[in-house]
Amino acid sequence: MRMRPTLSWTPAGDLPPGTTDLGPVVEVLGAGGVLVLSGAGLSTESGIPDYRGEGGSLSRHTPMTYQDFLAGHEARRRYWARSHLGWRTFGRARPNAGHRAVAAFARHGLLAGVITQNVDGLHRAAGDAQAVELHGSLDRVVCLSCGALSPRGELAERLEEANPGYAPVAAGINPDGDADLTAEQVADFRVLPCTDCGGILKPDVVFFGETVPPERVERCRAAVRAAAAVLVLGSSLTVMSGLRFVRQAAEAGKPVVIINRDATRGDRYAVTRVALPLGPALTSVADRLGISVISVEGH
C-alpha cells in the first residue's frame, strides 16, 4: 500500500452533521469486539498538535516525503536538525485521558484491537502494547542500508555530542516531531550515519509517499474482519491508509462510529459522528460503562 501525500480534503455539503450524543459510543463499546482506529486528534491533549484540525500544522508545514528524504544530504540534514530539536519536546509527551480510556477499554475486554495512525507511541505508553502502529513510531530508528533498528534515544545522545550547544528557537512542533526552523538554523547541523554499516538513518515511520509494510496492512485488515464495530478517534481520515479500513468495515455491514470535532472523509460510512473533545468524551463513556480510567504506573 502506497501513501500519497494527500494533505487536504474539502468536506462535501451532504455529509451528516455531528452530534454530542455519546449513546452510540456507549452502545458499541458495551457490546464489545470494537476495533479502535486513532488519529492525531487523540494526542492533542498531550501537547502534540494535529495536522488538519483548527490551527493544524498543515496550515504552515508540509511534511517530509520519502522521495525528498532520499533525494540528497541537504534534505536529510534539514529533516534531522528539525526532528532532533522536536524530539526534545515530542519524546516527553505522556498519554492523556483519551489514551488511558482506550487502554482501560482493552483491559476490560471490550476491544478487538487498536490501530493508530500516530507515530508518538502514546498508546504503548498508556499500557496497550498490542496496538498496531500503522505508520511506525518515532522512538525507533532504522538504517536504510542494513535494516538495523535502534532506540531513538541512542541517536539523540549521539546527535547531542555531534552538535554541542544546538538549541535554536523553533516556531512550533508538528505531529511528526518536526520542529519549524529556518534554513539558516539547520545549515551547520551534523547528520550521523548508522554505527553498524555507515548507511543512512531514518526514523522508523512511514513518510508521505512511502509504502506501508504489506504484512502490517494485512494485520489491520484481519483486525477489521474480526471486529464487530469500528470506533474512529480523532482522525479526519483524509489519508487513504486509514480510510480504507473504515470502508472495509462499512462494506461488511459493521457499524462505524466516529468521535472527531470536525467532519471527516469517513462520515458517509459512519452511523454517527460525535463532535466532542476526546479526553472528556471517552472518560464520560468509561464512567457510563462503570470503567475506571487510571494511569499506568510510570506514565
The Cα–Cα gap between 95 and 98 comes to 8
**Any binding-site annotation on 143?**
yes
Number of residues that this document lists for the chain = 299
**Any binding-site annotation on 121?**
no
The Cα–Cα gap between 137 and 108 comes to 26
The Cα–Cα gap between 202 and 225 comes to 33
Which helix (H) or strand (E) element contains residue 274?
strand 272-274
**Any binding-site annotation on 273?**
no
**Any binding-site annotation on 266?**
no
**Any binding-site annotation on 119?**
yes
Q: Could you say which of 61, 108, 135, 299 is catalytic?
A: 135
Q: What letter does residue 109 receive in the DSSP assignment?
A: T
**Any binding-site annotation on 115?**
no
Enumerate the H helices of the chain as residue ranges: 23-31, 66-71, 73-90, 97-107, 122-125, 152-162, 183-186, 214-226, 240-251, 278-288
**Any binding-site annotation on 220?**
no
**Any binding-site annotation on 127?**
no
Q: Minimal CA–CA distance to 63: which of 44, 35, 33, 83?
A: 83
**Any binding-site annotation on 260?**
no
Is the Cβ–Cβ distance between 291 and 104 less than 8 Å?
yes
The span from the first CA to the last CA of the chain, in angstroms, equals 34
**Any binding-site annotation on 118?**
yes
**Any binding-site annotation on 154?**
no
Q: Minimal CA–CA distance to 216: which of 235, 242, 238, 246?
A: 242
**Any binding-site annotation on 295?**
no
Q: Minimal CA–CA distance to 20: which of 237, 245, 273, 216?
A: 273
**Any binding-site annotation on 294?**
no
Count the Cβ atoms, other than its own, within 10 Å of residue 226: 11
**Any binding-site annotation on 30?**
no
**Is 135 annotated as catalytic?**
yes
Residue tagged 469500528 (cell numbers): 230
Catalytic residues: 135
Query: Binding site: residue ranges?
Result: 39-59, 117-120, 143, 146, 194, 197, 234-236, 278
Query: Binding site for Zn(2+): residue ranges?
Result: 143, 146, 194, 197
Query: Binding site for NAD(+): residue ranges?
Result: 39-59, 117-120, 234-236, 278
